[in-house]
């Protein structure tokens, strides 16, 4: 994710595991810390993934 220069980004190592149903799971975490007071607008996010129930590719979008 690209963020404004007014934000520090710290990325944690990915965590790999399995869900209760045995599907693979990968968790990515980022910590965003503003460098100064004020309003910050973050960009939207878009994540492609595979839906195991419908057996189709899917995309989830969050507005910025």
**27 in a structural domain:** yes
Quick one: pLDDT band at residue 41, thresholds 50, 70, 90? Answer: confident
Q: How many structural domains is the chain composed of?
A: 1
**1 in a structural domain:** no
Q: Structure pTM?
A: 0.58
Quote the CA–CA distance of 33 and 16 in Å, as a whole number: 25
**14 in a structural domain:** yes
**2 in a structural domain:** no
Contacts of 47 (CB under 8 A, 6+ apart): 59, 60, 61
Asked whether residue 42 carries a pLDDT value surpassing 90, the answer given is: no
Which domain does 22 fall in, by range? 7-34+42-62
């Amino acid at each position: 994710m690209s963020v404004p220069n007014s934000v520090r980004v710290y990325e944690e190592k990915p965590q790999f595991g399995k869900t209760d149903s045995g599907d693979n799971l990968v968790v990515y975490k980022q910590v965003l810390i503003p460098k100064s007071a004020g309003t910050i607008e973050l960009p939207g996010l878009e994540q492609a993934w595979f839906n195991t129930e419908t057996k189709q590719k899917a995309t989830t979008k969050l507005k910025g």
